[in-house]
Amino acid sequence: MFLVVGQRPSGSGVVADALDSHPDLLVLGAGDLLVPLAFLLERVRDPDAARRLFGDLVVASREFDDGIGRHLDAEGVHRALAGVPVRLGVLLSAVYDAVATAAGVHAAGTVLPRMGMAVLTRTGLHEAGIPYVHVVRDIRTIVAAGLGGDEGPAIAARRWDTQNRMFRQRWGTDAGRYRTVRYEDLVADPVGTVRALGRFLGAEVGPDTVPIPDQDAIEPLDAATRAIVTAEAAEGLYDFGYDPPPGSPRRLVRAMARRADAGIQRSRRVVAAARDRAWVLRAPAPGRPSRRDDDLAPAWCNICRWAGEAFSGVPHAESADCPRCGTIARQRFHLHALGRETAGGRRVLETAPRSAGQYARAMGRWYDYSVLDPTPVSGPLGHLAALSDRPTASVDGVLSAHDLQAVPEPDAVLAEFARVLAPGGALLLQVPVLSGATTAIEVADTAAPGTARWSFGVDIHERVNAAGFTTDVLVTEELADLVAADPATWAKAPGSGEVDVESLLAGLGDVTLDAVADRRTARRAGWLPPVLFVTIRGRRPLAVTP
Ligand SMILES: [Zn+2]
């Protein structure tokens, strides 16, 4: 699955049609359904109902017959969605990957016609690793063609500048996932542009001809309007290589000015940043008591010891970012669990860590810390293939977060975790626990690394057990209380769209729980809603001397 992204009217439709002419790619629909689907996911609570309605909306949509419906019937759509975690990106990938398989092409995608809509982010569009083809077109041509909207050229230019630059800043650093295409470059060289985009999306052969609609002659802007638009969109016009033109002396002057400007801003930031970075040298290890003045703040980070009014983002395991160290709520819960481990030594291995930099430096101060870098291969261990190079009984703690659902054989990974852990050592395992019972997700062999292959339930603790661990499940006190409460009240428990709350709570009733955070601690650390904070602990038996 891939997305052609462009703020209308960027020409993303023309790029989509051009990509569709690639023999190994398919682009379906104009993406008009993405926003309604996101709102649907946000409003519907029961995961089975959400999947069913999601499928129904796809099938009932106006664009179905001419798009997805050419390759999948209604039953095929619902089959593709069965058991898939209720997050927008994963659900879309399931449908479009099934379309690609049915059509016998390498990948299928659609258009994302609007950037920066919060509901798309909240419902998980960006979590599934979907690659983006970001289409930009010179705003001065857009305005000259009368496509800038009713609010006048200045506002159109400012909006163009902000939306495009923000999207590129957010995703542009990931070359494997993000590519910019200028509309003008496609028109100048359709075959070369489509072939290059095809290679980016992993398709081998390219088309020999690419049909492009005839370009209407556009009356150039008058000088005054052009000056306004150019000034309002100056940063974006520079970033996307429109103005000043590449190689021109004007561009060189501009580049120098930008560097000088950045230098001034940088020196202003240095003081604040140095103060912020000092946490790495100063913060006590997770699990040590906090300072008394921190105790009064409504929000508090157990990693960098920042204290303040509130975390950024939304209350969710994948959000509630710490403004100082950048950790998300789930990571703080993981480290909280690690901080409570007193048995064994200090050798900690973290798999595929999401944070590097300051976080890694602090971990190196607190622990004998090493990381397992993800490897993009497809064996039974998936991206954790490098585990097999680690010596037996070489660490005392393993932190694994959101690895297992993406590997073909989780039991093989758990066996490797057991092998590398020393006697008495602990595995602290986080996966999205979405219900009581685990289901496998049908995934094409060609799926991108990181694609979810498993939708885990609480029963994952049995797999951990079978791999040679004594297990219990770490939760917050509020979640433990919910589990202990009358099941009749579960329907009213605070939930999160992707979780089947009642099935999860019933499953947790059958396992040993350790409530590791009281209500106040959980609220201050951002561990809400409680159903999203579940960490499985597996302890290796101590060596027995005969
Ligand atoms: Zn922090």
Q: Contact 374/380 with Cβ under 8 angstroms? A: no
CA of 319 to the centre of ligand 1 (A): 13
CA of 331 to the centre of ligand 1 (A): 10
Q: Contact 105/1 with Cβ under 8 angstroms? A: no
CA of 232 to the centre of ligand 1 (A): 36
CA of 112 to the centre of ligand 1 (A): 33
Whether 120 shows a pLDDT value over 70: the answer reads: yes
Specify the amino acid at residue 335. Answer: L
| Average confidence score pLDDT of the chain | 89
User: Which of 153-157, 222-226, 491-495 has the weakest average pLDDT?
Assistant: 491-495
Q: Contact 108/28 with Cβ under 8 angstroms? A: yes
150 burial (CB, 10 Å; 0-12 / 13-18 / 19+) is exposed
CA distance linking residue 62 with residue 473, whole number of Å: 46
CA of 347 to the centre of ligand 1 (A): 22
**Per-residue pLDDT band at 53 (split at 50, 70, 90):** very high
- Tell me whether strands 535-539 and 421-430 are parallel, antiparallel or unpaired: antiparallel
CA of 371 to the centre of ligand 1 (A): 20
Q: Contact 7/164 with Cβ under 8 angstroms? A: yes
End-to-end CA distance of the chain: 56
**Average pLDDT of the residues in 225-253:** 87
Q: What is the DSSP letter of 75?
A: H
Dihedral sign of CA atoms 342, 345, 349, 353 in order: positive
CA of 362 to the centre of ligand 1 (A): 11
**Per-residue pLDDT band at 272 (split at 50, 70, 90):** low
Whether 447 shows a pLDDT value over 80: the answer reads: no
CA of 278 to the centre of ligand 1 (A): 12
Whether 250 shows a pLDDT value over 90: the answer reads: no
CA of 294 to the centre of ligand 1 (A): 13
User: Which of 90-104, 366-380, 400-414, 469-483 has the weakest average pLDDT?
Assistant: 366-380
Number of H helices and E strands in the chain, helices first, is 21, 17
Whether 171 shows a pLDDT value over 90: the answer reads: no
CA distance linking residue 460 with residue 477, whole number of Å: 21
**Average pLDDT of the residues in 438-455:** 80
CA distance linking residue 183 with residue 166, whole number of Å: 19
Task: Report the pLDDT value the prediction gives residue 265, as an integer from 0 to 100.
Answer: 66
CA of 311 to the centre of ligand 1 (A): 9
Within 8 A by CB and 6+ apart from 313, the residues are: 319, 320, 321, 328
CA distance linking residue 171 with residue 195, whole number of Å: 22
CA of 173 to the centre of ligand 1 (A): 23
CA distance linking residue 442 with residue 231, whole number of Å: 51
Specify the amino acid at residue 56. Answer: D
**Average pLDDT of the residues in 353-373:** 89
Within 8 A by CB and 6+ apart from 346, the residues are: 366, 367, 368, 396
**Average pLDDT of the residues in 460-480:** 96
**Per-residue pLDDT band at 312 (split at 50, 70, 90):** confident
pLDDT higher for 354 or 64? 64
Task: Report the pLDDT value the prediction gives residue 117, as an integer from 0 to 100.
Answer: 82
Angle at 39 between CA 37 and CA 41, to 5 degrees: 70
CA of 314 to the centre of ligand 1 (A): 16
Chain Cα centroid distance, residue 295: 32
Whether 343 shows a pLDDT value over 70: the answer reads: no
**Average pLDDT of the residues in 315-324:** 87
pLDDT higher for 254 or 105? 105
Task: Report the pLDDT value the prediction gives residue 546, as an integer from 0 to 100.
Answer: 55
Neighbours of 231 (CB within 10 A): 12
**Average pLDDT of the residues in 221-238:** 91
Chain Cα centroid distance, residue 433: 17
Task: Report the pLDDT value the prediction gives residue 426, as an integer from 0 to 100.
Answer: 95
User: Which of 329-338, 366-375, 392-401, 411-420 has the weakest average pLDDT?
Assistant: 366-375
Whether 341 shows a pLDDT value over 60: the answer reads: yes
Task: Report the pLDDT value the prediction gives residue 75, as an integer from 0 to 100.
Answer: 95
pLDDT higher for 155 or 287? 155
Task: Report the pLDDT value the prediction gives residue 94, as an integer from 0 to 100.
Answer: 94
pLDDT digits (tens, 9 = 90+) for 97-113: 999 999 999 999 999 98
CA of 238 to the centre of ligand 1 (A): 35
Domains, in order of start, for the chain: 2-243 (3.40.50), 280-538 (3.40.50)
Task: Report the pLDDT value the prediction gives residue 291, as an integer from 0 to 100.
Answer: 67
**Per-residue pLDDT band at 270 (split at 50, 70, 90):** low
Within 8 A by CB and 6+ apart from 242, the residues are: 138, 140, 182
Percent of the chain with pLDDT over 90: 58
Q: Contact 57/40 with Cβ under 8 angstroms? A: yes
Q: Outline where DSSP puts E strands in 268-345.
A: 299-300, 307-308
Dihedral sign of CA atoms 303, 305, 307, 312 in order: negative
Q: Contact 279/362 with Cβ under 8 angstroms? A: yes
**Per-residue pLDDT band at 423 (split at 50, 70, 90):** very high
**Per-residue pLDDT band at 363 (split at 50, 70, 90):** very high
**Per-residue pLDDT band at 293 (split at 50, 70, 90):** low
CA of 224 to the centre of ligand 1 (A): 49
Three-state SS for 405-461 is HHCCCHHHHHHHHHHHEEEEEEEEEECCEEECCCEECCCCCCCCCCCCCEEEECCHH
Task: Report the pLDDT value the prediction gives residue 490, as an integer from 0 to 100.
Answer: 92
Specify the amino acid at residue 322. Answer: C
Within 8 A by CB and 6+ apart from 336, the residues are: 286, 287, 302, 516, 517, 525
Percent of the chain with pLDDT over 70: 95
Bridge partners, residue 350, by sequence: 371, 399
Neighbours of 474 (CB within 10 A): 24
CA of 63 to the centre of ligand 1 (A): 45
